[in-house]
Structure 1
């Protein structure tokens, strides 16, 4: 009887493995970057260190393979986008050398899958891009948001100087986290980078508070910016939309992100997955500090002090100018990689409750008033 039971369980497990659409990553990746080139997904950095992996969706059963490693220091929260068959990686946060203090990078690297090689380009991003987002528009890349390099580098330096002295590090944190949102100078500039000419342009400034970790989706000429962090520890439910044409942007309003499925106050999220499906903008997951909005509205600037970071699972859709909750992720998660593939948004890795890096890969596709999830 035990043999039959074990055999049945083995058959069920084998069948599940055979029907898995997207194989797991070789290692959990959070705060990494990636992109789709042809029919192959590339993903790396973050908790993968300098490693990069590739998944050929035409033969996904073969799983992920390791490709050329990133040639510079490992980093978190970089930005990336694909133009003309190459993956461009911008900035991020990390240590230039193992002995150095963490800092914000502004270099640009390009990966060419044809030669399986990386190149550091002879350019620098004009504005900060650590914790920002990038998306391709034709032969150029749009970048939005991110932390202020000077302020963050100062914080990292002061924390390093405090060392193991808890009173000193607490004093640094209190001084740093007690500023107003505008005092952090988070990015609100839409930058444009054109690889073919190695040139940058300023396309304009958003009419709302700068942010990091926002969800960004581009549909043709329409750029939608949703939520994100407006200062360390404090998110916003605000969304905005811009028409991006030629050398400028024209902004318009869209509704704020609504309450989640549980009806709780919408704190906004940072690190959410985003893309588009069937003409709708999808925003999934993300993380926040429940209670921080109420504290901030009562006048407390260090709004997330004493609160618990919480990961979310709600999936929202913006259609015809209205938001709705259209589903739930299998688990609450954030800070993964979003890959747009037709009407499908592929979610690669991420951070789950408690901060662990996930190796899971799945996709979400809008089907009527709900989403279809494939893993």
Structure 2
């Protein structure tokens, strides 16, 4: 594995979006507020340029998909409530557009995958009613009451949160939502994903706030995601690994690659023991490991120079780009890395 650093971001970046359209990498929102930037990847020594700001306020943790000459934004959080508006950035016209096309399920934390220039598929995601109701309740409380309410909220079993178990499809032309299939696995948020040989791989993620799962599931895109299969998890190669949320991922030279992400060591044991506030008192581990799927198993490669999670990743010309991310002290990184397989 070859690891190189490339153009540093103008400021730290996490919890935002990324997309590549016609050799140009776009990022924005999250810790950047309404700001957006672009980087022309086809030019040597290119630097980040300020783009048109997002005109609809700041959205934290949106999910994005690139379709044709546009990037599309879904979900995320605005003013403590889950966003329902769908946004489009038309790169040719350099303009943002909005559509009042709410998804019947919450998309915060979901996986978004553009199956074509006209269709986007979603797996996982929070329950909008559960998330919004708790956010409204806690906003009315004083600090001491908030702490008690948060503890109660985090001390619930997996089923309580009612995360999205449907696989949804959004038709860009008609702005219409349909259900493709039921997800036979535990619903997740913050999973990594990519497409391999006509399958959408969904890796790890949270199964309730603070509790990750180590699972790799592949959904058959050709069959409308009605069939799926599971793979060996990363935990088989790392006994302390508890499943990643907010990891970076992509397919490089035909090989799935995943790196970074965060988890709490001991949370799974706590849940098995009946301690439902699974990460209480535990320190979050920010992973610097890199794994590649080869010869039907996960193998560790060279580490990132620091642990990172909740940034963005893209693949460009057989290199995986790791863009920003949250560091172990909670701050946003402005570093960007290229991962190339030897």
Deviations 1:254-287 (A, max 9, x none): 1122256xx4422111000011112221111001
Contact 1:226–1:257 (Cα < 8 Å) also in 2: no
**Which of 155-164 and 45-54 deviates more?**
155-164
Pick the structure with greater CA Rg: 1
What is the distance in 1 between the residues matched to 2:217 and 2:74?
23
Shift of 1:188: 2.9
Please state if 1:254 is matched with 2:231: yes
Q: Where does residue 82 of structure 2 map in the other structure?
A: 104
Deviations 1:176-218 (A, max 9, x none): 0111112111223222222133222211122111110001111
CA displacement at 1:347 relative to structure 2: 1.1
In the alignment, structure 1 residue 33 sits paired with structure 2 residue 17: yes
Q: How many residues align?
A: 338
Out of 142, 162, 181, the residue aligned to residue 204 of structure 1 is 181
**Equivalent residue number for residue 183 of structure 1:** 160
- 1:60 Cα deviation (Å)? 4.8
Aligned to 1:272: 247
Contact 1:258 1:323 in 2 (8 A): no
Residue 67 (structure 1) aligned with residue 51 (structure 2): yes
Give the superposition deviation at 1:170: 2.5
Q: What's 1:312 paired with?
A: 287
Aligned to 1:153: 132
Match of 1:8 in 2: none
Residues 86 and 101, structure 2, Cα contact 8 Å, conserved in 1: yes
Which protein, 1 or 2, shows the higher relative CO under an 8 Å CA cutoff with sep ≥ 6? 2
Can you give the 5+ residue segments of structure 1 that lack an aligned partner in the other structure?
Answer: 1-19, 96-101, 368-375
Q: 2:221 aligns with which of 234, 244, 257?
A: 244
Contact preservation (8 Å) 1:52, 1:70: yes
Q: Secondary structure at the match of 1:193?
A: strand
The answer on whether the counterparts of 2:326 and 2:333 sit within 8 Å (CA) in structure 1 is yes
Offset of residue 318 of structure 1: 2.0
Do structure 1's residue 293 and structure 2's residue 236 form an aligned pair? no
Q: Deviations over 1:6-54 (max 9, x none)?
A: xxxxxxxxxxxxxx86211111110110100010000001000111100
1:331-370 equivalent positions in 2, closer than 5 A:
331-367=306-342
Q: Scaled by the length of structure 1, what TM-score is found?
A: 0.86
Alpha-carbon deviation of 1:245?
Answer: 1.9
Once the two structures are overlaid, the 10-residue window that deviates more, 173-182 or 84-93, is: 173-182
Give the TM-score, by structure 2 length.
0.94
What is the alpha-carbon distance in structure 1 between the residues aligned to residue 122 and residue 338 of structure 2?
24
CA deviations on 1:266-314 (whole Å, 9 max, x unpaired) are 2111000011112221111001111111111111111101111121011
Cα drift, residue 220 of structure 1: 4.2
Matches within 5 A, 1:20-59: 22-59=6-43
CA contact (8 A) 1:280 1:318 kept: yes
In terms of fraction of residues, the more helix-rich structure is 1
How far apart, in 1, do the equivalents of 2:43 and 2:254 lie?
28
Q: Contact 2:215 / 2:230 at 8 angstroms: preserved in 1? A: no
Structure 1 residue 75, shift from structure 2 partner: 1.5
CA contact (8 A) 2:16 2:312 kept: yes
Q: Which runs of 5+ in 2 are unaligned?
A: none
